[in-house]
Amino acid sequence: MPDSCVYVNGETGQFWVIDYRLYDPDGDGQSKLDHVAAMLNGVIHSKQLPFTMVLMDSWYATQKLMGQIDQLEKLYYCPLKTNRRVDDSGGAVPYMRVVELVWSDEDLQQGKLVKIRGFPKDKKVKLFRVTVSTNRTEFVATNDLSQADTDVVQDVCGIRWKIEEFHRELKQLTGVEACQCRKARIQRNHIACALLVWSRLKTMADQSGRTIYQIKHGMLSDYLIEQLKHPSVQMSLA
């Protein structure tokens, strides 16, 4: 699957895929973090799209990328891996794993200021403990130090799942993973075509008020009905 940059309208829930990259370090020498940084710069300098915050998963929560977002004067919300080491004591005790932090009732409601190991000495972030499900908790870091409501953070992080929605739809409706060709160029063309198909289906779904699944299956149903009535290939029995 490509690394994708999804542009989300937080009020309407609509989203658009505005950029993507294919991970090929042997071909271009670029890491996944390099691709994300390039896409982020593209949104600012090439596409010039207005946005307030950047949402990403824990794999991308690096000092370099978070620092880049700081320099762009944008907000970020990203979960930290449970073994990430932080300090909430102001240097009074050694760094500890984020999962080992002690949370008061006030901390659970309003978050706490922490320093992430490896970050500049004067750089702190706000950390929130967010319950995702019965058996899952995320520790979400943000550079929005004025944020003081865990429920709001949970809602903001929920927007991040739009990219999972996109990946699920792309896999289930376009056959993006079904190409059997071995040449890299053909694979790239296949992925690009799959993204164009998804984009068209999504546009039709938004315009008609139906889901993208209803659009796709409706098209298949209409095609089968038409072929049964007026076959494009004449069949015969031997």
pLDDT in tens, 81-118: 999 999 999 888 999 999 999 999 999 999 999 999 99
Of 51, 50, 45, 54, nearest to 75 by C-alpha is 54
Q: Cβ distance 111 to 191 under 8 Å?
A: no
- 217: domain range? 175-229
Average of pLDDT values for 127-136? 88
pLDDT band at 235 (very low <50, low <70, confident <90, very high): low
Considering the domain architecture, whether residues 112 and 224 belong to the same structural domain is answered as no
Residue 234 lies in a domain: no
The position carrying tokens 């949104």 is: 43
Considering the domain architecture, whether residues 139 and 22 belong to the same structural domain is answered as yes
**Tens of pLDDT, residues 186-232:** 999 999 999 999 999 999 999 999 999 998 888 877 767 777 777 77
Q: Cβ distance 173 to 200 under 8 Å?
A: no
Considering the domain architecture, whether residues 30 and 50 belong to the same structural domain is answered as yes
Radius of gyration of the CA atoms of the chain, in A:
22
In the chain, % of residues over pLDDT 90: 66
Q: For position 135, what pLDDT does the model report? A: 82
**213-218: Cβ within 8 A, 24+ apart:** 213/169, 213/172, 213/173, 216/173
Q: For position 123, what pLDDT does the model report? A: 93
- Whether the full predicted model's pTM is greater than 0.85, yes or no, is no
Considering the domain architecture, whether residues 97 and 215 belong to the same structural domain is answered as no
Considering the domain architecture, whether residues 74 and 183 belong to the same structural domain is answered as no
Residue 84 lies in a domain: yes
In the chain, % of residues over pLDDT 70: 98
Average of pLDDT values for 40-48? 90
Q: For position 226, what pLDDT does the model report? A: 75
Residue 236 lies in a domain: no
Residue 152 lies in a domain: yes
Alpha-carbon span 127 to 115, nearest angstrom: 9
Q: For position 63, what pLDDT does the model report? A: 93
Q: For position 56, what pLDDT does the model report? A: 92
Q: Which of 108, 131, 164 is the last residue of a domain?
A: 164
Q: Which of 164, 185, 213 is the last residue of a domain?
A: 164
Considering the domain architecture, whether residues 34 and 118 belong to the same structural domain is answered as yes
For the beta sheet containing 136-142, the strands, ordered from the edge strand earlier in sequence to the opposite edge, are 53-55, 75-80, 136-142, 125-133, 112-116, 85-87, 96-97
* Region of residue 180 (phi > 0: left; psi between -120 and 50: alpha; otherwise: beta): alpha
Residue 72 lies in a domain: yes
Residue 82 lies in a domain: yes
**40-43: Cβ within 8 A, 24+ apart:** 40/5, 40/65, 40/68, 40/69, 40/72, 42/5, 43/5, 43/7, 43/18, 43/19
Considering the domain architecture, whether residues 71 and 160 belong to the same structural domain is answered as yes
Considering the domain architecture, whether residues 19 and 63 belong to the same structural domain is answered as yes
Considering the domain architecture, whether residues 118 and 75 belong to the same structural domain is answered as yes
The position carrying tokens 């000092």 is: 63
Under DSSP, the state recorded for 30 is -
Considering the domain architecture, whether residues 150 and 199 belong to the same structural domain is answered as no
Q: For position 237, what pLDDT does the model report? A: 59
Highest mean pLDDT among 29-33, 94-98, 233-237: 94-98
Of 192, 29, 118, nearest to 38 by C-alpha is 29
Residue 237 lies in a domain: no
Residue 70 lies in a domain: yes
Using alpha carbons, list the distances in angstroms from residue 80 to 85, 163, 233.
9, 18, 57
The position carrying tokens 């992925």 is: 191
Q: Which of 164, 185, 218 is the last residue of a domain?
A: 164
Highest mean pLDDT among 27-31, 104-108, 234-238: 104-108
**Residue 22, φ and ψ in degrees, nearest 5:** -105, 130
Considering the domain architecture, whether residues 39 and 157 belong to the same structural domain is answered as yes
For the chain, the domain total comes to: 2
Considering the domain architecture, whether residues 80 and 28 belong to the same structural domain is answered as yes
**Tens of pLDDT, residues 3-23:** 899 999 988 888 999 999 998
